[in-house]
Chain A
Amino acid sequence: MTLYLLCFLLFLVGLYGVLTRRNLIKIVIGLSFMEFSIFLLLVLIGYVKGGEAPILQPGMPATGFVDPLPQAMVLTAIVIGLATNAMLLAIAIRLYKKYGTFDIRKINQLKG
């Protein structure tokens, strides 16, 4: 249970970072924190105590393995996370070129 709570704590740390930081890059880092807390949670969900990697050989009983599905999900989600992070950082770089700063208080052309 402690591990799950730590995961949730990591999620909240990331959310706090996104909501309070003023620097574009730190916001991106906060988002990554949230992302990885969920990846950890997914892997934990699939974990079986003392379980092995699920490689089934002929004649072996199909027990004692960890759940492979969350691992496949995490791999997919990591790739998607890579794409979102790359996109975010690309936009952050373009913003820096236009405004000369990463401070969101100075990037305020729009009213919201």
Chain B
Amino acid sequence: MESFIPLFVILPLAAAFLIPIVGKFVSGFQMTLSNLVFLFLAAAGVWFLFDSNTEAVSYTVGGWEPVNGIPIAIYLVADGLSLIMLAIINTMAFLSGFYAISYLKQYTAPDNFYALLCLMVAGMNGVVLTGDLFNLYVFLEIAVIASYALVAFGTGKEELEASFKYQVLGGIASLLILFGVAMVYWKTRTLNIADAATLLKHSHDRTFHLFVQLLFITGFGLKGALIPFHAWLPDAHSSAPSPISAMLSGVLIKAIGIYCMIRIFFNMFILTEEFAVILTTLGALSMVLGALIAMVQNDMKRMFAYSSISQVGYIITGIGMGMIILARKGDQGIAALAIGGGLFHMINHAVFKGLLFLNAGAVEYENRTRNLDELGDLSTVMPVTYGTSLTASLSVSGIPPFNGFFSKLIIIIAAIQGHFYLLAALAVVVSIITLGYFLKFQKQAFFNVSRFFNKLKIKEVPFTMCFSMIVLAILCLVLSLLVFPGPRDLILTPAVEAVMNVKEYSTIITGI
């Protein structure tokens, strides 16, 4: 498996460069190649996730061995957390890419679309695999530059404006992250996350720690759209082509926002209580305000984008609670429950929010509008879109037996056991608000009879779009199984251990 790790970066990167060259001469090349690459990587990612013999491994780029116990090479590390992220990223990439085969008929230049999508996936795979701070920055930039271009793909007024906004805020975020990386290098003279962790443990310079942590939380908070830093997200996610919205909302903000935060704050810095409280507060704020703003939206995709902010708030709240408990040296079991709930919700959110954006794309593809006031009565003419979007809506608002219910339940149970009663109450209330605005979406899009509506012209979307939506809807049900002990121990427990057990992470890399 060790030699297989770099393929997650190399294959999509190679595809991204081959597509514009060969695609000019061979028709259909871009779709075939990129979807084959995504399918292969998704299968590999899921297989590694389920293969219980797989232990956390690292790959040394260039084969540079450590000198005097100091690691000098760039390491690619695949532990439990990275494997979960890899499986999510590549599965969603395949389903979005397959969906886009039909969806792209309304755009020109499919070559550029698939090349940029491959580049984005390569960047994200790199971010979740790398064990090196500067390398993380490089891969992060590859992923976000591709996403800037993809947001502007429609080249209309709105798309360009959203892309520019996204780029300015994303650019500031990247620079803050690079600033943080430079500060860590200044202090420790190493870029390796595990090596820096051991060195930072011995430094008690509180001002330095606080400053660098604030740089990183602002940078990754901007990338992950926590609430004071969220201004770009609704514009960018609603202006992008729908398969890309699904990738951005479902995967990108997790891979470069939440994942990096978890990796850096748990595995590099020493956990401090005040900092964990800041993170949890940001999470709770995003959870509540995101849901409240989503309620008043009339544009489907803007509603889903605000809902993404709210759901990311859940994830951050769960992880932040675990952080507070760990920093207070509280019960490890409750901390593991909170973090596990957060990670579980992260997997689930990728699936149902990806599905919702694909549904929005399907509705837009047939009706040429995203405005909920102008839609109506689609339940009979678009049965697949209706059924899958109902599944996703119920899942996101936490109705059993769908996956969203179980992950929210775990977060709420952890909040009550950890005596965070306010957070538990907020999580329940926000869940009800979520149900409210998703019922509004269901009613206005699929049942209301609208005067703008011309039923005769509208039919179900083509096969490839239906296929992706149905697969995701099935996943919404199947992922509920992760709550049972067997699958949970196989998938979630290694990830939680990777997050909580700092020593293990540095052992994988330095071998000490």
Q: List the interface of chain A (C-beta within 8 A of B).
A: 11, 15, 18, 24, 27, 31, 34-35, 38, 41-42, 45, 67, 69-70, 73, 76-77, 80, 83-84, 87-88, 91-92, 94-95, 98-99, 107-112
B138 touches A76 (CB 8 A): yes
User: Residue of A at shortest CB range from B164?
Assistant: A91
With contact pairs A31-B168, A87-B167 given, residues A38 and B179 touching in the complex (Cβ less than 8 Å): yes
CB distance from B479 to the nearest CB of A (A): 33
A88 CA to B168 CA in the complex, in Å?
A: 8
**Do residues B175 and A88 form an inter-chain contact, with CB atoms below 8 A?**
no
Give the residue name and chain of the B residue nearest to A35 (CB): B175
What residues of A have a CB within 8 angstroms of the CB of B175 in the complex? 31, 34-35, 38
Q: A112–B235 contact, CB under 8 A?
A: yes
State whether the Cβ of B442 lies closer than 8 Å to any Cβ in chain A.
no
Please tell me the number of chain B residues within 8 Å of chain A, measured between CB atoms: 35
Is the CB of B452 closer than 8 A to any CB of chain A?
A: no
A94 touching B182 in the complex, CB below 8 Å, given contacts A110-B162, A112-B235: no
| In the complex, chain B residues whose CB is within 8 Å of the CB of A80 | 138, 141, 145
CB contacts under 8 Å to A, within B176-198, are 178-179, 182, 185-186, 189, 191
Which residue of the partner chain, among B141, B167, B182, B191, contacts A38 with CB atoms under 8 Å? B182
* Set B134, B163, B185: member contacting A76, Cβ < 8 A: B134
Q: Which A residue's beta carbon lies closest to that of B163? A: A91
Chain A residue nearest to B232 in the complex (CB): A112
- The docked-state distance in angstroms from the alpha carbon of A111 to that of B233 is 11
Judged by a CB distance under 8 angstroms, whether B226 is at the interface is no
Chain B 122-165 interface residues, beta-carbon cutoff 8 Å to A = 134, 137-138, 141, 145, 148-149, 152, 155-158, 160-165
What residues of chain B lie closer than 8 Å to A91, measured between beta carbons? 148, 152, 160, 163-164, 167
User: How far, in angstroms, from A77 to B171 measured CA to CA in the complex?
Assistant: 13
Across-interface contacts of A67 in B (CB, < 8 A) = 189
How many A-B pairs fall under 8 Å by CB?
88
Contacts of A34 in B (CB 8 A): 172, 175
B178 and A38 form a contact (CB under 8 A): yes
Shortest Cβ distance from residue B161 to the other chain A in the assembled complex, whole angstroms: 6
The answer, yes or no, to whether B97 is at the interface (CB within 8 Å) is no
B176 CB to closest chain A CB, in angstroms? 9
A15 contacts across to B, CB distance below 8 A: 172
> Shortest CB–CB separation between residue A99 and chain B, in angstroms?
7
Q: Which residues of B contact A98 (CB under 8 A)?
A: 156-157, 160
Q: With A and B bound together, what is the CA distance between A73 and B64 in angstroms?
A: 18
Instruction: Output the least CB separation between A77 and chain B (Å).
Output: 6
